[in-house]
């Protein structure tokens, strides 16, 4: 037995979201370096190859440490950190969204030359909907970037969130001199001659150094100082409650590659990022993390990385109590008892099997087909069922069929399993019963096609239908005659009717024509 309360307090479970090339891998690696998991920094990878490969697998290959593709756990500064991987691809997949259901906070990495990229908005909506605290890191300060004020404005305008700069750049690119570390009342010097000169204390007003220093002669000093004063006068005030509710994002600047500003970022982040909290059940109870009985939920199911093993891993976020290897739990959906003996855990720097896990931790349960995404497992007599994970409205659709009509059996098996894993969503055309796949991002189709061929020996033909607006309707309001070529009628996996509108005009036209029919959208 561990001291549960104490252990929970040390946990910090988060995801890093970013656009490809913004620097997520580099930051992750720097964190591992700070945590003593790897010994030297360096670029860990070349170009991204296989889509199925996680960024972390490349770290693993290069470093020879045990990083699974999905969770990275290590200790730093008295905290046990769990980083959950979110694939950084052009288009986010549902996997990314669901991962956000299993974290307590999020770090958003932005390339300071590029600013906020449009796809980030959708991710942000989900983060906001869940009131997850979000911390922003503007990366690549060692390159010429956009003015810091512009970046802040853009963040506020695009994502509709208040910002509070925890530090402020003194120049960037060629003339990068340092950071005003507003939160710690110091200046962090870029590339100081010696480590002792790295941090210089600020005066009580927080707008100048206590002792004169050559950094004050740099061409960018005055400007940075004026901006800091402006922010002090006219900027948002730091408000921890607003941070915890996801209303205010603390903003940091730095360079992951140069390891500049990263240590202070991580320390400050760990200070304000919340420890694991309570989770709501379907009967509106709150399950507190320190309650004795173990409970958790499945947020992701992944095919085994080892192609020789066809089993899958169900990723379970521990919500309450202590997990111990070999314990018996109940799977709520089926009422079945399951013994959790074949379970992996994710310590980055240790190969020994960790035998227990506490709230905030992720365990990987080997699965032979028992689990579905969103499943609750619990210990003890008192039934627990966590609120359903949200379904995300797919935006892209394709017709799908088996290339070889004689191989229907493997086709159906593959489709059923991959849909159950949450790789992709499936619909059937109302009349013909044809299969239609729906996805949030294009990548999901590619993964689906690849896995069908590789794991189920079933080549599939995908015919793009383009983007559609999916809207659920109540079956009682429905007359199949309402369907047309501009609003296809389909059923979702639970047999609920859904219209796929060609575009927003088609939806508007429908609304005008059938004002009494409620159209509902998911997240």
Tokens of 320: 């309450």
Tokens of 356: 């227990």
Question: What is the smallest separation between the CB atom of 431 and ligand GDP, expressed in angstroms?
Answer: 44
CA atoms within a 13 Å half-sphere pointing along the CA-CB vector of 169: 29
What single DSSP character describes residue 59?
H
410 annotated as belonging to a binding site for a ligand: no
Question: What is the smallest separation between the CB atom of 111 and ligand GDP, expressed in angstroms?
Answer: 8
Kind plus residue range of the DSSP H or E element containing 106: strand 105-111
21 annotated as belonging to a binding site for a ligand: yes
Q: How many residues bind ligand GDP (CB under 6 A)?
A: 18
Beta strand spans in 266-404 (E): 279-280, 286-287, 295-303, 312-320, 323-324, 327-331, 336-340, 343-344, 356-357, 362-367, 376-378, 396-402
Residue 43 binds ligand GDP (CB under 6 A)? yes
Residue 256 binds ligand GDP (CB under 6 A)? yes
Query: CA-CA distance, 161 to 248, in Å (whole number)?
Result: 6
Q: Please, is 144 exposed, middle or buried when counting C-beta atoms within 10 Å of its C-beta (0-12, 13-18, 19+)? A: middle
What single DSSP character describes residue 436?
E
169 annotated as belonging to a binding site for a ligand: no
Question: What is the smallest separation between the CB atom of 40 and ligand GDP, expressed in angstroms?
Answer: 14
Tokens of 105: 């906070």
Binding ligand GDP (rule: CB under 6 A), the pick from 18, 82, 393, 425 is 18
Residue 26 binds ligand GDP (CB under 6 A)? yes
The one segment of 21-29, 349-357, 392-400, 426-434 that binds ligand GDP by CB under 6 A: 21-29
Question: What is the smallest separation between the CB atom of 136 and ligand GDP, expressed in angstroms?
Answer: 14
Q: Are 320 and 295 in contact (CB under 8 A)?
A: yes
Tokens of 69: 């593709």
Query: CA-CA distance, 157 to 151, in Å (whole number)?
Result: 10
Which of 26/249 has CB closer to ligand GDP?
26
23 annotated as belonging to a binding site for a ligand: yes
200 annotated as belonging to a binding site for a ligand: no
Q: Are 100 and 128 in contact (CB under 8 A)?
A: no
- Report the SS3 class of residue 302: strand
Q: Please, is 310 exposed, middle or buried when counting C-beta atoms within 10 Å of its C-beta (0-12, 13-18, 19+)? A: exposed
- Pairing of β 178-181 and β 168-170: antiparallel
Question: What is the smallest separation between the CB atom of 25 and ligand GDP, expressed in angstroms?
Answer: 3
133 to 192, contacts with ligand GDP by CB under 6 A? 139-140, 142-143
Question: What is the smallest separation between the CB atom of 259 and ligand GDP, expressed in angstroms?
Answer: 9
Q: Are 397 and 429 in contact (CB under 8 A)?
A: no
Binding ligand GDP (rule: CB under 6 A), the pick from 12, 24, 79, 122 is 24
Burial 483-492 (b: 16+ CB within 10 A, else e): beebbbbbbb
Residue 255 binds ligand GDP (CB under 6 A)? yes
Question: What is the smallest separation between the CB atom of 256 and ligand GDP, expressed in angstroms?
Answer: 4
25 annotated as belonging to a binding site for a ligand: yes
516 annotated as belonging to a binding site for a ligand: no
Question: What is the smallest separation between the CB atom of 223 and ligand GDP, expressed in angstroms?
Answer: 21
Query: CA-CA distance, 386 to 279, in Å (whole number)?
Result: 7
The one segment of 200-208, 249-257, 392-400, 437-445 that binds ligand GDP by CB under 6 A: 249-257
Question: What is the smallest separation between the CB atom of 267 and ligand GDP, expressed in angstroms?
Answer: 18
The one segment of 93-101, 122-130, 252-260, 348-356 that binds ligand GDP by CB under 6 A: 252-260
Residue 54 binds ligand GDP (CB under 6 A)? no
Number of Cβ within 10 Å of residue 285's Cβ equals 14
387 annotated as belonging to a binding site for a ligand: no
Residue 21 binds ligand GDP (CB under 6 A)? yes
Number of Cβ within 10 Å of residue 146's Cβ equals 15
For residues 65 to 104, the per-residue mask of contacts with ligand GDP, x marking binding by CB under 6 A and - elsewhere, is -----------------------x----------------
Residue 38 binds ligand GDP (CB under 6 A)? no
Binding ligand GDP (rule: CB under 6 A), the pick from 8, 15, 22, 424 is 22
In the complex, the residues that contact ligand GDP under the rule CB under 6 A are 18, 20-26, 43, 55, 88, 139-140, 142-143, 255-257
Annotation: binding site for GTP = 18-25, 85-89, 139-142
């Amino acid at each position: 037995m561990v001291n549960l309360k104490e252990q929970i307090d040390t946990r910090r479970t988060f995801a890093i979201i970013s656009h490809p090339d913004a620097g997520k891998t580099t930051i992750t690696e720097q964190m591992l370096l700070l945590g003593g998991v790897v010994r030297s920094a360096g670029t860990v990878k070349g170009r991204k190859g296989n889509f199925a490969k996680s960024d972390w697998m490349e770290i693993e290959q290069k470093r020879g440490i045990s990083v699974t593709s999905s969770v990275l756990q290590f200790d730093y500064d008295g905290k046990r950190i769990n980083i959950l991987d979110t694939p950084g691809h052009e288009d986010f997949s549902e996997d990314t969204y669901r991962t956000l259901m299993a974290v307590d906070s999020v770090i958003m990495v932005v390339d300071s030359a590029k600013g906020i990229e449009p796809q980030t908005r959708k991710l942000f909506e989900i983060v906001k909907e869940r009131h997850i605290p979000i911390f922003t890191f503007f990366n690549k300060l060692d390159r010429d970037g956009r003015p810091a004020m512009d970046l802040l404005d853009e963040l506020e305008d695009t994502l509709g969130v208040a910002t509070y700069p925890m530090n402020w750049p003194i120049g960037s690119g060629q003339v990068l001199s340092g950071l005003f570390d507003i939160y710690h009342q110091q200046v962090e010097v870029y590339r100081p001659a010696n480590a002792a000169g790295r941090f210089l204390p600020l005066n009580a007003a927080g707008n100048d150094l206590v002792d004169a220093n050559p950094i004050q002669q740099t061409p960018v000093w005055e400007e940075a100082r004026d901006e800091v004063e402006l922010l002090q006068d006219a900027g948002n005030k730091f408000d921890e409650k607003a941070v915890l509710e996801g209303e205010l994002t603390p903003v940091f600047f730095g360079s992951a590659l140069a390891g500049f500003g990263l240590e202070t970022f991580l320390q400050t982040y760990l200070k304000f990022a919340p420890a694991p909290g309570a989770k709501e059940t379907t009967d509106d109870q709150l399950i507190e993390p320190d309650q004795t009985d173990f409970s958790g939920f499945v947020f992701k199911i992944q095919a085994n990385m080892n192609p020789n093993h066809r089993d899958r891993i169900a990723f379970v976020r521990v919500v309450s109590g202590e997990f111990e290897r070999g314990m018996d739990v109940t799977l709520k959906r089926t009422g079945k008892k399951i013994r959790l003996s074949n379970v992996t855990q994710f310590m980055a720097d240790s190969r020994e099997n960790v035998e227990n896990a506490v709230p905030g931790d992720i365990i990987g349960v080997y699965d032979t087909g028992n689990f579905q995404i969103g499943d609750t497992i619990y210990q003890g007599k008192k039934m627990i069922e966590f609120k359903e994970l949200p379904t995300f409205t797919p935006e892209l659709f394709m017709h799908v069929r088996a290339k070889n009509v004689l191989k229907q059996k493997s086709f159906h098996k593959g489709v059923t399993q991959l849909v159950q894993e949450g790789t992709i969503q499936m619909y059937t055309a109302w009349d013909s019963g044809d299969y239609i796949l729906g996805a949030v991002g294009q990548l999901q189709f590619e993964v689906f096609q690849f896995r069908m061929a590789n794991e189920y020996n079933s080549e599939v033909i995908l015919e793009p239908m383009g983007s559609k607006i999916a809207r659920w309707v109540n079956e009682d309001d429905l007359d199949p005659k309402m369907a047309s070529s501009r609003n296809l009628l389909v059923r979702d996996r639970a047999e609920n009717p859904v219209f796929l509108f060609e575009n927003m005009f088609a939806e508007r036209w429908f609304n005008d024509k059938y004002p009494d029919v409620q159209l509902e959208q998911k997240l």
